[in-house]
Amino acid sequence: MAVFKSKNKESFSKHLRLYGTMSSTSGNGTDQLNRLSCARCKERKVRCNRVMPQCARCKSQDQECVYPIRAKRRSIRPLIDPALSSDSPNAALTTILDRLQRLEARTVASGSQANGNIPTPSIGGSEASQSPVAFSTTNGYASSILAPRNAGQEMDAMTVLKDAVDRVQELRKRSFGSSVITKSIDIPTDLAKTWVANFFKYMPAWMFVSFVDRRVLDLLPDIINLPHIHVDPVMLVIYYSIMYHGCSLKASNTTSLDSISYMNASYLGCLRAVPSWEQEATGTITDLIAALYVSRVAADFFDYDIAWRAFKYACEYCQVLNLHKLDSDESNSFLSEATCDNERRGFWEVIQIDLFYRLILNTPPVITNNPWKVNLPWLDLDSGTVPHGMQTIAFLASSRVSLVIARFFAMLDDPTNATKTEIVAKTEALCREMQEIFAEWQLTEWLNAAQDNEQDIWVVADVILTGYTSIIYMFRKMALLNSDSPRPPTTDLDIPDSPIVEDAARRLIATLNRLLDICPYGVTMTSLFGAYRCFVAFAYLANTILRAEDPRQYMADIEALEQLSDTSTELCRGNRDVVPLVKAMQSITEEIRKKL
C-alpha cells in the first residue's frame, strides 16, 4: 500500500486523486471511480477500489455492488438576510411582500414615464384598480372613489416629507444621546417659577392633574440645584415636563429662539431623570402622571419609542390603581366620590391616547385590550354641577371622536365584514360622522374667532387635530385590505385618494396656520408636527395639487401650504434638528409653484 505524506490538505487530496487514477488505469481504462466505498466493503471494513458500476471485490464474489449517495453538506454560514430564515416564515413573508410592493411602485413609476400616462381607475371597468378599492356609495352623499395615488413624474411629497421626518428623528436622537450625560441644564430660577405658574393657569386640565402636588413644584426652582437636596426622580420627570410646556406658552413671553433652547434643556432634564424613575416606580398615582407627561413630551420631540414605552407604563399603573374599575361592582379605588369625576375624565383621556397611538403608530391596544368599566364623568346622580365652557365641550367632542375610532377598530376585527367594499363604505360613514361632530360643536369656527384664551385654545385644537388626523389614518388602513401578510408593512405613503381625506388635510393645514398665528414659536411648530404627525396632511394636500390637471383650481390650498412653510421656516431659525423638515416643505411648495 502506498503511503502519502503531505504538508497540507490540498496536496493530500492531490495524492488521493493520483491514487484513484492509478487504480482505475490499472484495470479497465474506461472505468470510473466513485467518491465513496460501496456499502458491502464499508460494512466489512475492507478496502474498496470504488470502480463503477461494480467494485473488484463484489465482482470477484459475484455480489451486488451498491454505492451510497453522498449527502450534500449543509452550510454553516448564516443567511444574508435573517428575515428569510425558515425559522421565521411570517417575517420572511412580510419582508418579501414589502420588497415586492416597493418594486411594484418603482415599476409603475418607470412605466408611466415611458408610456406617458397610467389608466385612470374606474368603477366596473377593466382598468379598475385592484389595490386599494374603488367603490361608490349611494347613501345620499356624493359618491366617492378610493384609488391609489398614481406615481407619475411629479415629486412625491409624502416620500420627501417622510424622509425628512426620519432625518429629524435621527438628528434629535444623536444630539440628545450625548447631551444626556455631558450637557448642563441651565434654566433661570425666575423663568422656571413663571413657567410653573403659567402651566397651571393657561394649560388645559391635563389628565389626573388634580393629584399633582403644586406646592412641591412651586418650591423646586429654588431648591433643585442646592447641594444635599435630593429630589425623587418621579418629581423631576414631572417638573421638567411642566418646564417644557410652560416655556412654550404665549403667556411666558419668550422669543422663538430662546424657547427652543429652553425646550431642549427641559426635555434633556426629563430624559436624564427617566432611567432612575423607571427603577423606582411602583405604580403610584404620581408615577402615572409622570408616565403620561413623558409620553406627551417625547411625542412632541418625534421620539415615538419613548412615548410608546412611557404610555405602556401609564396603562399598567392605571390597572394597578384600579382606575379601569371605577364603576364596577368590585371597585376598591381609594378615590372619593367628590373627585371621582375628574378621575373618570382622566381615564377616558388615557383611552383616547391608546386609540390614537394604535391608529397613527400601529401599536397594539393596551388599556383597551382588557376589560374596563368606567362611565363618562358627570353622569351619576351624585355628581356635582357639570362644568360649563369650552373645556367641557371639547372633552365631550373628543369622547365622541374616540368612540368613532373604537367602532372603527371593532369593525375591522369583525369577521362578518368580509368584503373590501363593505369595510371601506363603513369607514367612510364613520369619517362622515366624525365630520358631523366638528360641525355640530362648531369647534373650527370657535378656534378661528378665539383671541387670548390660551387654555381653551389648546384643548379645542387638540380635538380638531386628533379628529382630522384620525380620518386620514383611518383611510390609510384601507390600503392594507388586499394584504395577506400576517404583519403587513404599513407606511404613511399608503393613503388612498378620497374627498373626505382631502377635506381633512385641508382643515388640518388651516388649523396649523391658525395656531402658529396665535402662538408664533418654534416649539409650537415642532410639537404639532411631532405629536400629531401633521406632515402627512401637508404631503397629502401637496400631492393632490401636484397631480391635478389644473393646479390653479387649488390656489387657496397653495397659499395655505406656502404660509405654513414660510412661517415654519421663520420660527425654526436656529433649530438645526428640524432643518430637514422645513427644507422639505420649502422644496415642495417651490415644486408646486413651477406647475402654475
Q: What is the pLDDT of residue 263?
A: 87
Q: How confident is the model at residue 432 (pLDDT cuts 50, 70, 90)?
A: very high
Are the CB atoms for 297 and 267 separated by under 8 Å? yes
Three cell numbers, residue 377: 364623568
488: phi then psi, degrees, rounded to nearest 5: -65, 135
d(Cα 234, Cα 240) in Å, to the nearest integer? 10
Give the pLDDT mean for 399-422.
89
Task: Say if residue 543 is exposed, middle or buried (CB neighbours under 10 Å; 0-12, 13-18, 19+).
Answer: buried
The answer, yes or no, to whether residue 433 has pLDDT greater than 80, is yes
User: pLDDT over 90 for what percent of the chain?
Assistant: 43
Q: What is the pLDDT of residue 389?
A: 79
110 versus 462: the higher-pLDDT residue is 462
The answer, yes or no, to whether residue 70 has pLDDT greater than 60, is yes
Give the pLDDT mean for 436-454.
90
Q: What is the pLDDT of residue 218?
A: 93
Least confidently predicted of 5-9, 414-418, 475-479: 5-9
pLDDT tens track for 92-109: 445 445 544 554 454 444
415 versus 74: the higher-pLDDT residue is 415
Query: Within 10 A of 328 (CB to CB), how many other CB atoms are there?
Result: 14
pLDDT tens track for 554-595: 999 999 999 999 999 998 888 888 999 999 999 999 999 998
Q: How confident is the model at residue 383 (pLDDT cuts 50, 70, 90)?
A: low
What's the one-letter identity of residue 294?
Answer: V
Rounded to the nearest integer, the mean pLDDT of the chain is 78
The answer, yes or no, to whether residue 491 has pLDDT greater than 70, is no
d(Cα 540, Cα 218) in Å, to the nearest integer? 44
Q: What is the pLDDT of residue 111?
A: 44
27 versus 507: the higher-pLDDT residue is 507
Q: How confident is the model at residue 57 (pLDDT cuts 50, 70, 90)?
A: confident
30 Cβ neighbours under 8 A, 6+ residues apart: none
Q: Which among 315, 326, 342 has a CA at the least distance from the CA of 210?
A: 342
pLDDT tens track for 204-227: 766 787 788 889 999 999 999 898
Would you list the domain boundaries of the chain? 9-60, 152-177+387-596, 185-380
d(Cα 585, Cα 573) in Å, to the nearest integer? 14
Least confidently predicted of 82-86, 220-224, 323-327, 361-365: 82-86
Give the pLDDT mean for 398-423.
89
The answer, yes or no, to whether residue 252 has pLDDT greater than 80, is no
Q: What is the pLDDT of residue 124?
A: 35
Are the CB atoms for 247 and 297 separated by under 8 Å? no
The answer, yes or no, to whether residue 119 has pLDDT greater than 60, is no
Q: What is the pLDDT of residue 311?
A: 97
- Alpha-helix residue ranges (DSSP H) falling in 332-483: 337-360, 390-413, 420-441, 443-449, 454-476
Are the CB atoms for 490 and 480 separated by under 8 Å? yes
Are the CB atoms for 450 and 518 separated by under 8 Å? yes
155 versus 92: the higher-pLDDT residue is 155
Are the CB atoms for 556 and 488 separated by under 8 Å? no
136 versus 453: the higher-pLDDT residue is 453
